[in-house]
Structure 1
Amino acid sequence: MSATGWIRERLAGPVPGAVPGAVTGTWPKTALALPFIGMLLVVSLDYFSNSSVTVEPAITAVPALAAVVSRRTWYPLVIGLFTELAAFVMALYNDVLGQSVHTATVFAIALVAGIGWVSATLRLRQEKALADAQVVAEIARRVLLRPVPDRVGSVRAAVHYAAAAAHARIGGDLYEVVNTRHGVRAVVGDVRGKGLNAVETAAAVLGAFREAAHQEPELAKVAGWLAVSLDRALHENDHPGVEEEFVTLVLIGVGPDDVAEIVNCGHPAPLLLRADEPVRALESAESVPPLGVLDPADVRPPVHRVRVHPGDRVLLFTDGVIEARDHRGVFYPLAERLPQVASGGPVEILDRIHDDVVRHVGRTLGDDAAMLLLQYEPTAHHLPHQPDHQAAAPA
């Protein structure tokens, strides 16, 4: 199916899995009867009213209601014709056919029907433009933030991303997981700011990571590679306020020796979930500023190493999760809530965390929020080599 056909399909009906009417403002088909119901109510009120004053002018609201509930441009005009007919019937019944109140009602119905036709036309054009923008955003998201497979080397992986910009589907947060000859390597980062500049910066960092993760045997040198690429991208793209641009990120590598290496550059520390143990933050002894603050030649972050066991889960996230506040201004306590929602597979865990954050905030999140969960499940191919301690007996 072409992109245009896909757009038309999106406009023709609700998006699977989305809230009805959230994007295109569509109403259920039963709502098309509302103008007729409103017309019937006005006519009945005029018929059963004992007052000498006619309520005929109230019927002018019916074409406006038709423009609201319908996505067909001709529907307000058709309802306008039925409304004019009902107005003439009411005028004959009340014997006001030649009076100014009836004449004003007739002109008002025609005017409202015309305005409804114009508003419906403009709304459909805006919905089509929004659908086109969503196609572009979806393509950009799949190019920049590629889907993470369920199994990457020795780990199971899942990601959950929510952009702050409505319908944008992409923002300044970044993530990636790759399987290299040095083991599984992943990154989660947060670009300062929002908008197109943040997306361009995230693209530069991700492109550098996808290359450096395969080339550099040391994880700290991967961070140095990212710092160089970020500095070059910021100056080449001539970003406004380039001196204030920076990226916080955390790198993690899981090698074949059951050891996870973590490099943190000004980012929230990952959380380790291990059975029968409290949640532990994998923090380095030395704090390092975000990339873009120091000269790339001075970026030498320490490497924090921790031994992992089968079933261990490491959660990497951006500050959009832990800085989500409720109506009292209380931050979301991720480390405290994690044991209560950490059940099921990686995808289910991230879905539960996101739902719990939304319940805590009470509304949609105001900042980009990305979460990456790695669950260490090595297969026989990924298990570390066990030396044979049984030496052969001498002949």
Structure 2
Amino acid sequence: MTKPGGGRVLPLPRGICLLPLFLLVLGVVLDLLTPRDVSAAAFFSAAPVVAAPLLSLHGTVLVGMAACAADLAVLAHFGLLTDRGAYSDWVSVATMAALAVFLNRLLHRREMRLRSVRGIAAAVQRAVLPQPPSHVGPLRIAARYEAAQTDAQLGGDLYAVQDTPYGVRCLIGDVRGKGVGAVKTVSVVLGAFREGAQRAPTLTGLAEWIEQTLLREAAQRQEPDQGEDFTTAVLTEIPRPGDRVRLVNRGHPAPLLLVEGAVRQLEPSRPALPLGLALVDAGISPVDTVAFPRGASLLLYTDGVTEARDISGTFYNAGERLAGRRPRTPDELLATIVDDVHRHTRDQITDDMALLALTRPTDIMR
């Protein structure tokens, strides 16, 4: 669909942009098939109003002119050009056409403002979440962030990759909430991860490092709802030579391991609370270890993927949808799943999605 003023928006039902033309044709047909004292001017008035949110400025103006011309042609056909009542109908049509142009401009202005805000939000998101390098240690890496189309708020999804003395360590997470507050928490989590990844000798220690950083930050804010601030996250560690993966899952959707077309969901051996809830129950983060053979890919993602629904309300099942597929690179894997989510939801994405893919190539990288 064309925005007022150009561009693209969420897809509308096929053929909806022909509705103004349909109203014009219907008005002419009704006028010709009904008695002279029955007017279809309401259809001529409705056509440009309907065109305003559907078409560009040029299209709206053309529909308005066509509505005025069609009404005049019908009046001329019945010899009513000098009739005052009929003339007032034409004035009404012309007035609605002018109002439709005004409405089109208002919608265009609103869309431009929203696009500007979205652009700023995207720039901030890119600054907070820079793309990781395509190669880290023995791995090939790809990351992708897909913003929801429902608003222009900053999201709380995050990812990070870091090469450390203990191996390649990765983080994917989802901060509770949206907006500036969520981005602030994202920056705290990422800063804690980058420092802790270099210092903490174990994944459990790294999770505790991030946890304590979040608790200190919450205590400094002294906000009444600080106990409700938390971050679901998965921490991974792939020590050299890269033949195994260690995982700590803190209340986050389970990653997927893809090996030769088979998909395995890496559920944690024991559930753990999200980061930032140690005030409720600290516990020890369980560490799970799985084999990571050559050619395998590890997919980490946020709940924007698992909670994506189709028109019937069915949730997207990444494991089932990826079964049998053999993406050659992490970029291809992310492109496959993102495109598939868009098809599943018919582009009606309601939550941000962050995805991180790690592939252990079959060839030995230098």
Instruction: Name the TM tier (shorter chain).
Output: 0.7 to 0.9
Structure number with bigger Rg:
1
Q: Does the C-alpha gap of structure 1 residues 313 and 40 become closer, same or farther in structure 2, counting only changes over 3 Å?
A: closer
Deviates more, 1:168-177 or 1:247-256: 168-177
**Residue in structure 1 matching 2:115, options 122, 131, 142:** 131
Residues 52, 149 of structure 1: alpha-carbon distance in 2 compared, 3 angstrom cutoff: same
Question: How far apart in 2 are the matches of 1:74 and 1:305?
Answer: 60
From 89, 99, 110, the equivalent of 1:115 is 99
Kindly provide the CA deviation profile for residues 308-333 of structure 1, in whole angstroms up to 9, marking residues without a partner as x.
33222222223343455567766544
**Residue 173 of structure 1: aligned partner:** 157
Aligned equivalents of 1:72 and 1:247: distance in 2? 45
TM-score normalized by the length of structure 1: 0.73
Q: Give the TM-score normalised by the residue count of structure 2.
A: 0.78
1:214-272: CA deviation from partner (whole Å, max 9, x where unpaired) = 34443333222211222233344555622122112111122224343322223334333
In structure 1, what is the equivalent of residue 181 of structure 2? 197
Q: Count the aligned residue pairs.
A: 360
* SS at 1:340 equivalent: coil
- Once the two structures are TM-superposed, the CA of residue 343 in structure 1 deviates from its matched residue by 3.2
RMSD: 4.1
Contact conserved, 1:261 with 1:303, CA < 8 A, in 2?
yes
Q: 50, 53, 56: which one pairs with 1:71?
A: 56
2:251 paired residue number? 266
Report 1:293-304 matches (<5 A).
293-295=277-279, 300-304=284-288
Please report how far the alpha carbon of residue 301 of structure 1 lies from its aligned counterpart in structure 2 after TM superposition: 2.6
Counterpart AA for 1:179? D
**Which amino acid in 2 is paired with 1:212?**
G
Q: Distance in 2 between matches of 1:82 and 1:88?
A: 10
In 2, distance between residues paired with 1:52 and 1:70?
32
Residue in 2 that maps onto 1:344? 328
Of all paired residues, the percent bearing the same amino acid is: 34
Q: Is the CA contact 2:149–2:349 (under 8 Å) kept in the aligned structure 1?
A: no
Q: Please tell me the residue identity of whatever aligns with 2:259.
A: R
Q: Distance in 2 between matches of 1:345 and 1:133?
A: 33
Is 1:224–2:208 an aligned residue pair? yes
Q: Which moved more, 1:98-107 or 1:351-360?
A: 351-360
Contact 1:205 1:230 in 2 (8 A): yes
1:224–1:297 contact (8 Å) kept in structure 2: no
Residue 212 in 1 paired to residue 200 in 2?
A: no
After superposition, the Cα gap between the structure-2 partners of 1:236 and 1:135, relative to the gap in structure 1 and judged at 3 Å, is farther
Q: Which residue of 2 aligns with 1:6?
A: none
The separation in 2 between residues aligned to 1:307 and 1:207, in whole angstroms, is 29
1:1-395 aligned within 5 A:
13-14=6-7, 20-22=8-10, 49=33, 51-53=35-37, 55=39, 57=41, 58-64=43-49, 67-68=52-53, 70-72=55-57, 76=61, 84=68, 87-88=71-72, 90-164=74-148, 166=150, 168=152, 170-237=154-221, 241-258=225-242, 259-275=244-260, 279-282=263-266, 285-295=269-279, 300-324=284-308, 332-357=316-341, 364-377=348-361
Residue 125 of structure 1: CA displacement?
Answer: 1.0
The answer (yes or no) to whether the contact 1:60–1:105 under 8 Å persists in 2 is no
Query: Does the CA-based 8 Å contact 1:263-1:301 persist in structure 2?
Result: yes
Structure 1: runs of 5+ lacking an equivalent: 1-9, 15-19, 383-395
Kindly state the Cα deviation for residue 174 of structure 1 after the two structures are TM-superposed.
Answer: 1.5
**Whole-angstrom distance in 1 between the partners of 2:222 and 2:360:** 41
Distance 1:21 1:315, change over 3 A: closer
